[in-house]
Amino acid sequence: MNSWNDGYFTDATYTYGYYRELSPVYMRWCLLNKGIAAPDINEDSCHCELGFGQGVSANIHAAATPGKFFGTDFNPAHAAQAQKLAEASGADANFFEDSFEEFANRDDLPQFDSIGFQGVWSWVSAENRRHMLEVARRHLKSGGMVYNSYNCLPGWAPTAPIRELLTLYDKNFHGNGDINERVQAALKFVGEMLDAEPAYVKLAPTFQSTFEQLKKQNPHYIAHEYLNLDWDLMYFSDVAQLSQEAKLDFATTAMPIEGEIFHLPQKAKDFLSKINDALVREQIQDYFINRNFRKDLYVRGLRRIPNAEAQEKILSTRYVLMTPAAEVPLTFNTSLGILRLSEDAYRPLINHLAADNFRPKNLLKFRSKVNATLEVIRVLILTGHVMPCQSEAAAELVTESCDRLNAHLCERAKFEEAISFLASPLIGGGVNVNRFKQLFLAQYKGGVKAADKLADTVQKLLSRQGQRILFNGKALDTPEKTTEHLRTLAERFLTIDLPILKALMIV
Cα gap 286→283, rounded to integer Å: 5
Distances (CA, A) of 411 to 13, 68, 94, 267, 435: 21, 25, 23, 54, 10
Same domain, 383 and 406: no
Span 368-390, average pLDDT: 96
Q: pTM here?
A: 0.91
- Does residue 3 belong to any structural domain of this protein? no
Span 438-467, average pLDDT: 92
- Does residue 6 belong to any structural domain of this protein? no
pLDDT-based confidence at residue 1 (cuts at 50, 70, 90) = very low
Three state DSSP letters for 38-92? CCCCCCCCEEEEECCCCCHHHHHHHHHCCCEEEEECCCHHHHHHHHHHHHHHCCC
- Does residue 341 belong to any structural domain of this protein? yes
Final residue in a domain of this structure, among 341, 368, 388: 388
Give residue 122's pLDDT.
94
Is the CB of residue 132 less than 8 Å from the CB of residue 100? Answer: yes
Is the CB of residue 149 less than 8 Å from the CB of residue 226? Answer: no
Number of structural domains, the chain?
Answer: 4
Same domain, 402 and 496: yes
Angle CA 397–398–401, to nearest 5: 135
Span 338-361, average pLDDT: 95
Q: Give the least confident one: 1-10, 134-143, 401-410.
A: 1-10
Final residue in a domain of this structure, among 388, 408, 432: 388
Give residue 10's pLDDT.
45
- Does residue 313 belong to any structural domain of this protein? no
Same domain, 493 and 410: yes
- Does residue 88 belong to any structural domain of this protein? yes
Same domain, 382 and 404: no
Same domain, 490 and 353: no
Q: Nearest to residue 285, comparing CAs of 307, 259, 303, 304?
A: 259
Give residue 265's pLDDT.
87
Cα gap 368→78, rounded to integer Å: 50
Average pLDDT for the chain: 92
Torsion from C-alpha of 353, 356, 357, 360, nearest 10 degrees = -50
Higher-scoring residue by pLDDT: 295, 157:
295
Same domain, 368 and 435: no
Span 431-444, average pLDDT: 97
Same domain, 115 and 248: yes
What one-letter code names the amino acid at 480? E
- Does residue 90 belong to any structural domain of this protein? yes
Same domain, 254 and 173: no
Q: Nearest to residue 48, comparing CAs of 36, 39, 61?
A: 61
- Does residue 4 belong to any structural domain of this protein? no
Pairing of strands 112-117, 68-72: unpaired
Final residue in a domain of this structure, among 299, 331, 351: 299
Q: Give the least confident one: 159-168, 233-242, 333-342.
A: 333-342
128-163 b/e (C-beta count within 10 Å ≥ 16 → b)? bbbbbbbbbbebbbebbbbbbbbbbbebbebbbbbb
Pairing of strands 470-471, 421-424: unpaired
Higher-scoring residue by pLDDT: 418, 2:
418
Cα gap 359→354, rounded to integer Å: 7
Helices (H) and strands (E) in the chain, counts: 22, 15
pLDDT-based confidence at residue 3 (cuts at 50, 70, 90) = very low
Give residue 469's pLDDT.
78
- Does residue 414 belong to any structural domain of this protein? yes
Please write the tens of the pLDDT for every residue from 215-251. Answer: 999 888 888 778 877 889 999 999 999 999 999 999 9
Burial of 174 (0-12, 13-18, 19+ CB in 10 A): middle
Same domain, 406 and 467: yes
Same domain, 266 and 415: no
Distant-in-sequence, close-in-space partners of 248: CB < 8 Å, separation ≥ 6? 133, 136, 140, 146, 298, 299, 300
Q: What are all long-range contacts of 235-238, with beta carbons under 8 Å and residues at least 24 apart?
A: 235/152, 235/153, 235/154, 235/283, 235/286, 236/152, 236/279, 236/282, 236/283, 236/286, 236/294, 236/296, 237/279, 237/280, 237/282, 237/283
Could you give the percent of the chain with pLDDT greater than 90? Answer: 76
Could you give the percent of the chain with pLDDT greater than 70? Answer: 95
* pLDDT of 259 strictly over 90: no
What string of DSSP letters covers 133-200?
A: HHHHHHHEEEEEEEEEEEEBTTTTTTTHHHHHHHHHHIIIII-SS-HHHHHHHHHHHHHHHHHT--HH
Give residue 407's pLDDT.
98
Same domain, 203 and 282: no
Cα gap 507→502, rounded to integer Å: 5
* pLDDT of 12 strictly over 70: no
**What sign has the CA pseudo-torsion 281, 283, 287, 290?**
positive
* pLDDT of 473 strictly over 50: yes
- Report the SS3 class of residue 234: strand
Chain length of the chain: 507
Which residue segment(s) compose the domain that 183 sits in? 160-226
Please write the tens of the pLDDT for every residue from 186-221. Answer: 999 999 999 999 998 888 888 888 899 999 998 888
CATH of the domain at 242: 3.40.50.150
Rg (CA), the chain: 23
Give residue 175's pLDDT.
61
* pLDDT of 281 strictly over 60: yes
Same domain, 417 and 470: yes
